[in-house]
Amino acid sequence: MVLSVETTADGASRDAALTKIALRYAGMLATGASDPKKLHKVFTLARPEVDLRAGLAKALNDGKLGEWLDSLAPEDAHYAQLSKAYVALVQTGQKVTAAIPDQGKAIEPGATDTRIPAIVRQLGTTGYLPEGGASENVYAPRVVAAVRRVQADYGIRPDGIIGGEALAILNLSDADRARAIAVAMERMRWLAQQPPATRIDVNVAAAMLSYWRDGKLVDTRRVVVGEPDTETPQLQSPVYRLVANPTWTVPRSIQAKEIEGKGSNYLKRNNMVWKDGWVVQQPGPKNSLGLVKFDMQNDHAIYLHDTPAKALFNEAQRQRSHGCIRVFDALGFAAMIARDENVLDAWNKARATGKESFVSLPRQIPVRLLYQTVLVDKRGNPIVRADPYGWDDAVAKALGFGSQPGHRVRSGSSEVAP
pLDDT in tens, 369-382: 999 999 887 778 88
Instruction: Give 79's pLDDT tier (boundaries 50, 70, 90).
Output: very high
Domain-terminating residue out of 56, 72, 88: 72
The answer to whether 61 and 150 have CB atoms below 8 angstroms apart is no
**Active site annotation includes 407:** no
Least confident of 90-94, 145-149, 179-183, 263-267: 90-94
Catalytic option among 40, 78, 322, 324: 324
Q: What is the chain's percent helix, strand, coil content, to nearest 5? A: 35, 20, 45
**pLDDT tens digits, 205-247:** 999 999 999 999 999 999 999 999 899 999 999 999 999 999 9
Distance CA(23)–CA(55), nearest Å, equals 10
Q: Residue 331: what pLDDT?
A: 98
Q: Is residue 22 part of a domain?
A: yes
Q: Does 264 fall in a domain? A: yes
What proportion of the chain, given as a percentage, has pLDDT over 90?
Answer: 67
202 and 68 in a common domain: no
Provide the residue type at 58 as one letter: K
Domains of the chain: total: 2
Q: What is the pLDDT of residue 154?
A: 77
Asked whether residue 94 is assigned to any structural domain, the reply reads no
Tell whether 66 is covered by a domain. yes
pLDDT at 7 over 80: no
Residue pair 227/395 in contact by the 8 Å Cβ criterion:
no
Helix axes 65-72, 11-31, angle to 10 degrees: 30
Q: Give yes or no for a contact between 207 and 61, defined as CB atoms under 8 angstroms apart.
A: no
Domain containing 40 equals: 11-72
Does any domain span residue 84?
A: no
Asked if the model's pLDDT at residue 98 lies above 70, the reply is no
The predicted structure's pLDDT at residue 315: 86
What pLDDT does residue 2 have? 42
Pair (68, 199) in one structural domain: no
What pLDDT, on the 0 to 100 scale, is given for residue 226? Answer: 96
The DSSP element (H or E) to which 295 belongs, if any, is: strand 292-296
Taking CA 266 as the corner, what is the angle to CA 260 and CA 268, rounded to the nearest 5 degrees?
120
Q: Is 90 inside a domain boundary? A: no
Question: From the candidates 40, 305, 322, 407, which is the catalytic residue?
Answer: 305
Q: Is residue 18 part of a domain?
A: yes
3-state secondary structure of 141: helix
Q: For residues 65 and 200, state if they share a domain.
A: no
> For residue 324, is it within any domain?
yes
Q: What is the CATH number of the domain that holds 303?
A: 2.40.440.10
> E strand or H helix at 361, and its extent?
strand 357-370
CA 132 to centroid of chain Cα atoms:
24
Strands 199-203 and 208-213: antiparallel
**Within this chain, do residues 200 and 341 fall inside the same structural domain, yes or no?**
yes
Residue 305 CA to residue 313 CA, distance in Å, equals 13
305 is catalytic: yes
Mean pLDDT over each residue of the chain, to the nearest integer: 89
